Amino acid sequence: MQNRPPENYEWLKTKEYFKKNSKTVISIIFLFVLGIGSLSSFYTVEPDEEAVVIRLGKYQKTNPPGLHFKIPFGIDNVIKVKTKIVHQAEFGFRTSSSTERRTTYSSKNFDTESLMLTGDLNVAEVQWVVQFQISDPFKFIFQTSEPITNIRDISESIMRRVVGDKTVTEVLTTGRVEIATQSRELMQGVLDHYDMGISIKTVKLQDVNPPRTVQDSFNEVNSAKQEQEKMINQAEEAYNKVIPEAKGKAKKLISEANGYAEAKVNRALGDTSRFLAIYEEYNKAPNITKKRIYLETMEELFGSMEDTTILDAKVKGLLPVFGKLQGAN
């Protein structure tokens, strides 16, 4: 007869229990595994994603958004990739915050990224962005080991190639759009050559400046141009003010002369026609007419005279006392 239970009492009890209920225990375990299996055998792909399905290491397919099934227990491995997002890679500058109302930029110097040589062996500082999307998620993950690094390297290399064929003036002013377009095309070409599953949406030039040290002298050229335009405009303005005025005066002078001419000629015509009219009258009766005219003139004359003295020509030595004599009385 035993006084205390044996040490392995609990273990024996469990073994007993399992032996008795082996069927139920096994079925419970089976159901448990089945449960886990079914839970992990479906997944959802969000609207901005695509899912790459790898079965036993090998690529199966790429699934679009929605509900999908996979073989559980590690047989199927699903990698979800956001394919709708447009990523932005920045070159020559970095956005440090775009959460506040105004975007702020890092004040660090990114000269090594931004300084590049132009075709005329000058130096320019070029900042740009590249916007891209993942067009084939499988290729994006499995074609290259460092896809983002590749995009950045190629972007820098191509930009320098395109800028290297332009003059510094083109880079700073007139060629910006062409540079962006050419770069986009060439970058896409190289990435397609690597078959990376990346689609470059746009390349945009941001700030493009001459290097800091040289900036002042570039500004000097601009202000010289502006000064120049101003001086020339002022000269033209002065011309446009004076010349029309002078032309106006000239016209006036000539029309005054014309006026004078017409008046003179008309007066001559008037005088002569009057004379001819009188002469015609005179001719009809010369003596009478002459006398008449003479008398008319005298009448008018004497009628208006205040004080006339006619002296004999033979008188000599006349004292000018007329007025005084009369007044002295």
Partner 1 sequence: MTKSSILIIISFFAFITFYSSTFILSEGHQAIVTEFGRPVGAPITNAGLHFKKPFIQDIRLVDKRILSWDGFPNQIPTKDKKYIKVDTTARWRIIDVLKFIQTVQNEKGAKTRLDTILDGHTRDVISSHNLVEAVRNSNEILNTIEDQKEEIKKQKEKGLFILEDEISVDVEKIIEGREKLSQMIVNKADKELQELGIKLIDVQLRRISYEESVEKKVYERMISERKRIAQKIRSIGKGETAEIEGRLTRDLQKIESEAYRTAESVRGQADGKAAAIYAKALKINPGFYDFIRSMEAYKKSIKGKKYILTNDSEFLKFLK
Binding to partner 1 (CB under 8 A): which residues in 219-238? Answer: 220-221, 224-225, 227-229, 231-232, 234-236, 238
Angular region, 252: left φ>0, alpha ψ -120 to 50, beta rest: alpha
Sign of the four-CA dihedral 231, 234, 240, 245: negative
Least separation in angstroms between residue 289's CB and partner 1 is: 9
The structure tokens 């700030």 sit at 207
Q: CA-CA distance, 222 to 55, in Å (whole number)?
A: 65
Q: What is the DSSP string of 105-134?
A: E--S--HHHHEEE-TTS-EEEEEEEEEEEE
- From the list 31-39, 54-62, 63-71, 129-137, the region that binds partner 1 by CB under 8 A is 54-62
Please tell me whether residue 183 binds partner 1 under the rule CB under 8 A.
Answer: no
Contacts (CB under 8 A) with partner 1, residues 294-323:
294, 297-298, 300-301, 304-313
Least separation in angstroms between residue 249's CB and partner 1 is: 7
Please tell me whether residue 189 binds partner 1 under the rule CB under 8 A.
Answer: no
* Residue 66: φ, ψ to 5°: 135, -170
Cβ–Cβ under 8 Å, residues 125 and 92:
yes
Cβ–Cβ under 8 Å, residues 129 and 88:
yes
Looking at beta carbons only, is 38 or 234 nearer to partner 1?
A: 234
Contacts (CB under 8 A) with partner 1, residues 236-295:
236, 238-239, 242-243, 246-247, 249-251, 253-254, 256-258, 260-262, 264-265, 267-269, 271-273, 275-276, 278-279, 282, 290, 293-294
Least separation in angstroms between residue 200's CB and partner 1 is: 16
92 to 131: interface string for partner 1, x by CB under 8 A: --------------------x--xxxxxxxxx--------
Contacts (CB under 8 A) with partner 1, residues 136-165:
138, 141-146, 149-150, 153-154, 156-157, 160-161, 164-165
The rounded radius of gyration (Å) of the Cα atoms in the chain is 57
In the beta sheet, which residues pair with residue 256?
none
Residues across the chain:
329
Least separation in angstroms between residue 102's CB and partner 1 is: 31
- Return all residues near 135 (Cβ < 8 A) that are at least 6 apart: 83, 197, 198, 199
Least separation in angstroms between residue 45's CB and partner 1 is: 19
